[in-house]
Chain A
Amino acid sequence: MKLFESEAKEIFRDFNMPTPSSGLAKTPEEAKKRASEIGKPVVVKAQVLSGKRGKAGGIKFADTPEEVEKLAEEILAMRINDLPVEAVLVEEKLDIKQEIYAGVTIDRNRRQYVCIGSSSGGMSIEELAEESPEKIVKTHINPHLGLQPFEARQLAVRMGFKGKQIHKLASFFMKLWKIVEAYDVELTEINPLILTQQGEFIAADARLNIDNNALYRHQELIESLDRAPLEENERERRARENDMAYVELDGNIACICNGAGLTMATLDAVALYGGKASTFLDLGGGADAERVEKGIEVALMFDQVEAILVNIMGGITRCDEVAKGIVGAREDKGIDVPMVIRMVGTNEKEGQEILEKAGIPFLQTMEDAAQKVVELVEEAE
């Protein structure tokens, strides 16, 4: 789950991390009011769950509350990377001496958390890693011991800081690590972390992504957010509630399969024969007839679907249950697009008998099925 900057900063403040004074606004009038409360030049920042806001024009500076009102109106009307902007953060403009980068994420190769710092912030860490890798310093964290204060100080020294600033920056890294541990964070970034002319470090931005698998440990946080933890449409919500993985794509063939790898391979096979998938729908392990029926229903709710391909490799999933679900969906919902079925593995004979009885044809290999469904769509056009 991604948190908005404003939400992440609330957590930062809970951990006594210095942040600029700021206020959230959902209307231009509110934004004006926040700016008057702050009483200084401010930044108006779009609150969207997407990177590269600045480049998209979602961050603007203003000197007066009237200016803030006008800018907020513009930003609130924007879509950034196809996401609507529903709120802006009005925030005190800092007196910048240096922009740096601080973050903690997971190194999947080492299977460890890694703490990352750079004395040049402001740009994306991926770009920085490519252009000047020597400017990035890292330390991997022992998961049993956690980040040690000496490691945090070492990072600060390697980033080129001296004297009191070593302690101040190290304390930032220690706080970031505590937040990572407390909230099952898979990625947190402060970019930029500002060193002010007065010599203080202040988190001018905040990115915080929480591991979805660990959300059950953070009910209190979710309840405090005043929004659904995940951004999803009706179809995505129904798929999730029925334990399916569902991704919408720009084609017209709904691919309903079991297992993520097999579903991806099925999408690839459809493309290989010249078709385009509308839906990645992984029924998950051990789907029963009801879940299969729900899966077909969810796939069909997506308007652009012109054909359905069901590809099942039965392991935990039983083909007879799948067949019952397909027959049920056809009877209950009345499917008016062509459907191609491939189904082998556990209880395949029983499953195929059920399909035969209902007069539904099926194929033996996923490649034949992918080819067939593409042909059917082409014929219909």
Chain B
Amino acid sequence: MAVLIDKDTKVVVQGITGSQGTFHSEAMLEYGTNIVAGVTPGKGGQEINDVPVYDTVWEAKKEHGVTASVIFVPAPFAAGAAMEAIAADLNPVVVITEHVPVKDEIKVIHEAKRKDITVIGPNTPGIIQPGAKQKLGIMPGHVFKAGEVGLMSRSGTLTYEIAAGMTQADIGISTAIGLGGDPCVGLTPIEGVKLFENDTDTKAMVLVGEIGGDAEERAAAYIKDEVDLPVVAFIAGRTAPPGKRMGHAGAIISGGTGTAAGKIKAFEDAGVPVAEKPSDVAKLLRENL
């Protein structure tokens, strides 16, 4: 059993003819991702990296039985692309695009929930399963080693940083999920924890959070009451000043809530050790595995 994707997942890349779509579909194919089709409205009939391109997701599904989508469509059209994937019952739908208006995100997430479909992102590096050689996203595959730790994070490069540290310490990853850096994302930390908890391939979890919102605090409370697997956390933004937006739209401390200190305390209260620096994550995992 695996989390959200597995080796049989058949992937469609929406926006495959764009520069990002073309570049990353090639990188995904090299990694081993089972990309069977691409979609760009109006560009049907072309081939990109030997992958056939269709005008609609519906056609890609009819011809190839695609089961999941990864979206590289520019922000003004990204939500529309996600709606198309949801209408075709693809699951998960991974939205890499950043700067998607929040009103659009809310509509997409609401529709996906109604159909019990998981949206990852937007503004996410994606999802990767090193053991299954599947990545739906933009992460450098070589820093992720296959293993038994589930990793989820609100930040892209920080995910790579921590994965690389784990790889160096010879600790592997079952599935890594970038939750996305926006205030409203499809998959929340608490939902991610639930997925890993039910995954027989995952023996421990790493939760990487950052300032802003209270999703980490909620996940900590859930872990305290419900989760038996060892969990280790890291929180970025200990030194971030209040009121300033630190790159991610979601990373802002407002009205005294969403501070790193509050999140760290919530994890510690739940018995979850919190790493002081990214490289300490591997150490804490060793101690707790």
Contact = CB atoms under 8 A, between A and B. Distances in A.
Q: Are A and B bound to each other?
A: yes
Contacts of A280: 240, 244, 246-247
Contacts of A143: 103, 106-107, 110
Contacts of A247: 244-247
Interface string A181-216: 100101000000000000000000000000111101
A346 B161 CA distance: 12
A211 B250 CA distance: 12
Nearest to A265: B236
Contacts of B184: 106, 108, 111
Which of B99, B139, B153 is most buried by chain A, counting CB atoms within 10 A of its CB? B99
Contact of B75 (A213, A270, A313, A344): A213
B76 A315 contact: no
Contact of B156 (A186, A249, A261): A261
Contacts of B160: 313, 315, 345
Contacts of A261: 153-159, 181, 208, 210, 236, 247-248, 251
Of B103, B107, B111, B155, most A-chain CB atoms within 10 Å:
B103
A314 B101 contact: no
B241 A346 contact: no
B254 to A, nearest CB: 9
Contacts of A213: 75, 99-102, 249
Interface residues of B, number: 64
A14 interface: no
Query: Which of A108, A109, A126, A212 has the most CB atoms of chain B within a 10 A radius of its CB?
Result: A108
A137 B78 CA distance: 34
A264 B251 contact: yes
Nearest to A51: B255
Contacts of A126: 255-256
A184 B155 contact: no
B46 interface: no
A316 B107 CA distance: 29
B237 A268 contact: yes
Interface in A87-142: 106, 108-109, 111-113, 126, 142
Interface in A45-75: none
B110 A262 contact: no
B246 A264 contact: yes
Contact of A272 (B208, B214, B244, B276): B276
Q: Which of A126, A181, A213, A346 has the most chain B CB atoms closer than 10 A to its own CB? A: A213
Contacts of A285: 98, 138, 156
B80 interface: no
B15 interface: no
B140 interface: yes
Nearest to B217: A109
B164 A108 contact: no
Nearest to B186: A111
B213 interface: yes
Interface string A144-188: 100000000000000000000000000000000000010010100
User: Chain B: interface secondary structure?
Assistant: loop
Instruction: Please classify how large the interface on chain A is, using the bins under 10, 10 to 19, 20 to 34, 35 or more.
Output: 35 or more
A320 interface: no
Contact of B247 (A214, A260, A314): A260
Contacts of B155: 259-262, 264
A259 B156 contact: yes
A374 interface: no
A261 B256 CA distance: 20
A262 to B, nearest CB: 4
B279 interface: yes
Contact of A344 (B110, B138, B164, B188): B164
A269 interface: yes
B106 A112 contact: yes
B240 A267 contact: yes
A260 B248 contact: yes
A109 B109 CA distance: 12
B279 A112 contact: no
A366 interface: yes
A1 interface: no
A111 B110 contact: yes
A18 to B, nearest CB: 26
Contacts of A352: none
Interface in B95-130: 98-103, 105-107, 109-111, 125
Contacts of A212: 249
A322 to B, nearest CB: 13
B156 A263 contact: no
A186 B102 CA distance: 8
A111 B241 CA distance: 25
Contacts of B102: 106, 184, 186, 211, 213-214
A260 B164 CA distance: 18
A262 B277 contact: no
A109 B249 CA distance: 15
B210 A264 contact: yes
B284 interface: no
B211 interface: yes
Interface of A: 106, 108-109, 111-113, 126, 142-144, 181, 184, 186, 211-214, 216-217, 245, 247, 249, 257-265, 267-272, 277, 280, 282, 285, 313-316, 344-346, 365-367
15 contacts: A126-B255, A217-B101, A247-B245, A260-B181, A260-B247, A261-B155, A261-B248, A262-B158, A264-B251, A282-B247, A313-B160, A313-B164, A315-B160, A345-B140, A366-B278
Interface of B: 24, 75-76, 98-103, 105-107, 109-111, 125, 138-140, 143, 153-161, 164, 181, 183-185, 188, 208, 210-211, 213-215, 218, 234, 236-241, 244-251, 255-256, 260, 276-279
Given A259-B156, A261-B155, 8 more contacts: A109-B215, A111-B110, A111-B185, A143-B103, A211-B101, A260-B246, A264-B210, A344-B164
